[in-house]
Amino acid sequence: MLREAGDIQHAAGTCRMTAHEDPRGVVDPELRVRGAEGLRVADASIMPTDCRANLHFTCVMIGEALARRMG
């Protein structure tokens, strides 16, 4: 079973969001990529920590929140 079974993991937190004043993050709270004008990220990579929930629905909400801000 171990030879045939596997898991599927979604990458999360690879482009983490931090506060405006925290330069350690890749994106700011408005989901703008620091150092790349006009580029925003709205997926699981911006999560600073694991949300322990289904990532699909969380990503949908991240995208909807960004769409409202940009609209």
Any idea which residues carry the catalytic annotation?
A: 10
Per-residue 3-state assignment (H helix, E strand, C coil) for the chain: CCCCCCCCCCCCCCCCECCCCCCCCCECCCCEECCCCCCECCCHHHCCCCCCCCHHHHHHHHHHHHHHHHC
